[in-house]
Amino acid sequence: MDFASELISQLPWLRKMAGRYCKGEDDIQDLVSDTILRLWQTRDRFDEGHAFRSLAYKVMQNIYINQYNRNKFSVLVEDFPTKEPTTHANADALIRAKQVIQRVRQASTRSVCIRPVIMYALGYSYQEIADSLHIPLGTIQRRIHEGRRILKQELHP
């Protein structure tokens, strides 16, 4: 069987495997499309003696991991509004607030746990955070717990 017909015959299986990684239909289709593209680009290295599914699964897994790693360091913190202080006490508070925002930003680039903490602080429920980030609820709870610990260490060294 040639590569193209093997690829076409495995499309339902690829969609099923993508469903294990992604919840939304659009995300599933994107992952399958990226996997097909990568497999097609490397078809000359495909050895007919090896199992096609194991190759396709590994390619899909690597694509998903790369996308996840690329997206996990996105910074959610907005720029702190700057306004002119009216008193010395306000100036100190503004400087302290800017330092806190800077430390939170630095922590968010080093850990995936900060973004859920910020979303939780903005009033989102655990379930809303899990749905928006496409991550299981238990993982969100763990990340919020860990993120609070990281922020505590970052803000009170």
Q: What is the DSSP string of 55-111?
A: HHHHHHHHHHHHHHHHHHT---PPPPPP---SSHHHHHHHHHHHHHHHHHHHHHHH-
Lowest mean pLDDT among 29-38, 42-51, 104-113, 139-148: 104-113
Q: What is the pLDDT of residue 100?
A: 77
Q: What is the pLDDT of residue 66?
A: 79
- Cα separation, 14 vs 8, in Å, equals 10
1 pLDDT band, cuts 50/70/90, is low
Residues 118-139 have a mean pLDDT of: 86
pTM: 0.47
Name the most confidently modeled range: 27-31, 47-51, 109-113, 114-118: 27-31
- Cα separation, 100 vs 154, in Å, equals 9
Q: Which of 75, 39, 31, 34 is nearest to 56 (CA)?
A: 39
Q: Are 135 and 27 in contact (CB under 8 A)?
A: no
Residues 116-130 have a mean pLDDT of: 85
